[in-house]
Amino acid sequence: MGITTTCLNILEKNKACLGMIIVQIVFTGMSMFSKAAIDKGMNPYIFVVYRQAFATITLAPFAYFLDRKKADPLSYSLLLKIFLISLFGTTLSLNLYSYSINYVSATFASATVNSIPAITFLIAVVFGFERFSMRDFPGVVKIVGCVISVSGAIVFALVKGPQLNWSRASHATNPPIITHSITPKEKWIQGCLLMLAANIIWASWLVMQAPLVKEYPAKFRLAMVQCFFSFTQSSIWAMSLVRDISSWRLRWDFNLLSVAYCGIVVTGLSYWLQLWVVENKGPLFAASFTPLILIFTAILSAFIWKEILYLGSICGGILLVAGLYCVIWGRNKEAQNEANSEKTDPKEDTSV
């Protein structure tokens, strides 16, 4: 009984961390499924349309039954704000991501995602959603953690070193399930730049969620409205570019599974979970877990796509985890200091 209570207390204390780890596992599946579907010939813009459609349908019953008493009806000004955030956040970042992943590997896509914590931190500081001071040790640790995470991502992507034996053996005995065609250098550079742009836009979207959730706390309804706006915006964009009716036809195959997973699990449920974490811990805390995607993707790619792992990748992964720990420690220490200062203030008032 005591062990059970202790475990429950630990889970309750670290539920935000657990929630973000689940989100990163879900996003790992997104990079794998979306890469595979687009490699098999599915148009990336149509992929985003169906993904957002599945997400809207998934969130609709939760928004209706769980959030109908939590917030007032949406005003026209708030709807316009959500529409613009969806357009310049969700819609643009997803379309850029889906298009660029056609020219890079899933592991590389996950590596570039690790720029999100540093970008989110800079944007959040500029707009006043995160505070730090070079005189405070936790603030310095947060900055160092962001730098270490980005450095780990660079090491993971660029430094190879010796090839791991178990990965080489697996690669030799089992042929790749999915073959990646060698793309021209120009397309590879284009894919990298577009992937970076998608990450910058996604980091901005994370920062914009903090004031939006405070203004409208019904998170299921807020996530559903953003998905619906993104669906309509992506539909208009895709229909203007893809006129072939056969490209829009979904069959009972892997493409349908990929769209359903990315729509229902990723966009639908994990978006709500991210909103909850952003509301309670801030955008930097939510973004600081993105390095885990790279580690999860590299491990799965080695088994599923038989991608070769190198010692440099392992070292980069260690740096990513160390940077992640620094950011979480700094954020938690700042929260403890704020809580202690709030407790001491009333005592000072009463003594005077």
201-205, 243-247, 252-256, 347-351: the lowest-pLDDT one: 347-351
CA 190, chain centre distance (Å):
21
Average pLDDT over residues 63-90: 85
The pLDDT > 70 percentage for the chain reads 80
Long-range contacts of 122-128 (CB under 8 A, 24+ apart): 123/203, 123/204, 123/207, 124/207, 124/210, 124/282, 124/283, 124/284, 127/207
Q: pLDDT digits over 151-199, tens only?
A: 776 776 667 677 765 444 444 444 443 444 444 666 777 777 888 888 8
Name the E strands within 8-69. none
Q: What is the secondary structure of 186-244 as a DSSP string?
A: HHHHHHHHHHHHHHHHHHHHHHHHHHHHHH---HHHHHHHHHHHHHHHHHHHHHHH---
Q: Is the pLDDT assigned to residue 314 strictly greater than 50?
A: yes
Average pLDDT over residues 297-324: 74
Alpha carbon distance 62, 58 (integer Å):
8
Q: How far apart are CA 195 and CA 153, in angstroms?
A: 14
Which of the four pLDDT bands, split at 50, 70 and 90, describes residue 50? very high
Torsion over CA: 32, 204, 21, 296 (sign) = positive
Q: Is the pLDDT of residue 81 over 90?
A: yes
Least-confidence region, from 87-101, 158-172, 281-295: 158-172
> pLDDT value at position 2?
63
| Residue percentage of the chain with pLDDT more than 90 | 14
Handedness of CA 195, 201, 205, 206 (dihedral sign): positive
pLDDT (tens digit, 9 = 90+) per residue, 223-280? 899 999 999 999 999 999 888 888 898 888 888 999 999 888 887 677 778 778 877 7
CA–CA distance, 35 with 175 (Å, rounded to integer): 18
**Residue 32: C-alpha distances to residues 28, 138, 248 (Å):** 6, 35, 21
218 touches 74 (CB < 8 A): no
Its pTM stands at: 0.73
**Burial of 99 per CB tally in 10 Å (0-12, 13-18, 19+):** buried
Q: What is the mean pLDDT of residues 324-349?
A: 70
